[in-house]
Chain A
Amino acid sequence: MMAGGAMPGRTIPQPVEAVPETAPPIVELANVSKTFGQGRQEVSALEHIRLAIGRGEFVTVVGPSGCGKSTLFNILAGLTEADPGASIRYGGQPRAAKELLGKVAFMPQRDLLLPWRRVVDNAILPLQVEGMSRAEALKRAAPMFPEFGLAGFEKHYPHQLSGGMRQRVALMRTFLFERDLTLLDEPFGALDALTRSLMQRWLLEVWQRHQRTILFITHDVDEAIFLGDRVVVMTARPGRIKLVLDVKLPRPRDAEIVTSPEFIQIKRQVLAAIEEESLKSFQQATGG
């Protein structure tokens, strides 16, 4: 599915504008809340989340750990129901969370590679779940190995790979599961800084080539700005959306962009929002 005019600035560097306005959103959340437990153990993980994501967008969600980012993803992947009163529209249709099972490509925080499956067989797992034969799935996957930096490692087992390679296998598995929305939960969280920065640029290339819609979780402000068309800043628990910022940095983005005045300007706004929030919760905690 080509997004065509709805995706400006993918190859020619120019600001990304009005993506959510011109194309109908793939997913639209309103009043999404989630409470765990009951009575005194009640934990409010998400409160009144409102968010729309347009086709082809790369939206990043940044927030302190424990603020409900993974919970939001679990709802979008269909694994957790939101509290009653939530509205989730997917492809224009109102949906209960569980109706999203099998409709969203979801990469959880841990790579969850199956140790008894070779790299290839881990990558094609979602295709086999869909009922595709192994032979056909392998044919589909074969051209992707070089692109994901895994050429020559098809027959390896997960325990033989480095952390960065394991993440790429998990990403490849997610990309082979072609869905309108792709959710990536802190995919680079466990990697060292250098590998991480390489993987970020590589992910942008892959995203542009495959033309996917990505919602990407991170707790790293730089990563959120570097990758995203928009950055969604969440508050500490209960997770609310504090701020949504358009990132009008040209694409393709290279590593130096993080030192550009525009980047620093955006970073300042994000950090100020986070600062204000932590100050608030600090004052609440100290009763001041």
Chain B
Amino acid sequence: MSNKTAALGADIAIGVAGPLLVLVLWEALVRGLAVPTYVLPAPSAIAAQVVTDLPLLLGGLGVTLGEAAAGYAIGAAIALALACLFVLAPVLERILLPVLVALNSVPVVAFAPVALLWFGMGPASKIAMVTLAVGFAVFVNAHHGLRAVDESAANLLRSFGAGPLRQMVLLRVPAALPSIMNGLRVAVVRSMIIAIVAEMIGAYKGLGWTIFEATQQVDFLRVWAAIAVASAASMAVYGVVNWLDRRLVFWR
């Protein structure tokens, strides 16, 4: 028990020490070599900029998070439903899976012009792109997990008289949960990236738009401040999903 706590403490210490060391080195390097701000600002300067720009950055973050969350929810829901449907109706899978694979082989960002054309410069186009990106990540993992179920366990349920739907609810979905959670975790970071990139390509609001605008105004410190806020937010959400994963897939 105390051993475990100690190990956990060590893990956290290493987890904190690594980034801290990088920040210190970064700061020292920038100051020591007098690197100009437009090449690379010091972490302390970025932190100060975050504080000054806080209302602006938080406003942008709110918009970006909202788009990412909406796209994430829609994409994950569609992906899970589709994965279940494919396992229940293999005919559908044979028809639709090749289409999905073909779509997935193109980077989602390539769809940005089409998304802007169809859904406009507002949040709808960002949500559509996040939906696509999250959908693929979750679908691939969920589909694999639902199909990789131990056949003997499925046979046991069949011997109890369980049809495909009961097998899905009682066995396949819970057995696929580790795989599904994996997809959901990968999709978190992806949803933030896609939302920001989509905003940089064309938007009225959001962190990506702030980055784009600041670049246009040659305000590199603000660019870095926006990046810092975006990555901090990504890490926080990622942490929450990781925690959820450990709670839900406790038997692993």
Contact = CB atoms under 8 A, between A and B. Distances in A.
Interface of A: 74, 77-79, 101-104, 106, 108, 110, 112, 114-116, 125-126, 128-130, 157, 159, 177
Nearest to A104: B159
Contact of A130 (B156, B160, B250): B160
Contacts of A79: 155, 158-159
B223 to A, nearest CB: 46
Given A79-B159, A116-B177, 14 more contacts: A77-B155, A79-B158, A101-B158, A102-B159, A103-B161, A108-B155, A114-B153, A114-B174, A125-B170, A128-B170, A130-B160, A130-B161, A157-B251, A177-B160
7 tightest A-B contacts by CB? A102-B161, A115-B251, A129-B160, A126-B160, A106-B159, A77-B159, A129-B162
A159 B161 contact: no
Interface of B: 150, 152-153, 155-162, 166, 170-171, 174-175, 177, 250-251
Contacts, number: 51
A37 B204 CA distance: 64
24 contacts: A77-B155, A78-B158, A79-B159, A101-B158, A101-B161, A102-B159, A106-B159, A108-B152, A108-B155, A108-B156, A112-B150, A112-B156, A114-B153, A114-B174, A114-B175, A116-B177, A116-B250, A128-B170, A129-B157, A129-B162, A130-B160, A130-B161, A157-B251, A177-B160
Contacts of A77: 155, 159
Contacts of B155: 74, 77, 79, 108
B228 to A, nearest CB: 39
Contacts of A177: 160
A57 B192 CA distance: 65
A157 B249 CA distance: 13
Contact of A112 (B152, B174, B177): B152
Nearest to A158: B251
A76 to B, nearest CB: 10
A104 B150 CA distance: 21
A74 B175 CA distance: 23
A110 B174 CA distance: 19
B187 to A, nearest CB: 22
Contacts of B150: 112
Contacts of B152: 108, 110, 112
Nearest to B177: A116
A153 B170 CA distance: 22
A74 B251 CA distance: 29
A101 B170 contact: no
B51 to A, nearest CB: 46
Contacts of A159: 251
A177 B170 CA distance: 16
Nearest to B167: A129
A177 B159 CA distance: 10
A263 B155 CA distance: 37
A129 B251 contact: no
A26 to B, nearest CB: 17
B171 A129 contact: no
Contacts of B153: 112, 114
Contacts of B250: 116
Nearest to A78: B159
Contacts of B159: 77-79, 101-102, 104, 106
Nearest to A100: B159
B177 A129 contact: no
Indicate the member of A110, A116, A157 with the most B CB atoms within 10 Å.
A116
Contacts of B158: 78-79, 101
A115 B170 CA distance: 12
A106 B156 CA distance: 7
A126 B157 CA distance: 8
A112 B166 CA distance: 17
A107 to B, nearest CB: 9
Contacts of B177: 116
A159 B157 CA distance: 20
A264 B188 CA distance: 68
Contacts of A115: 251
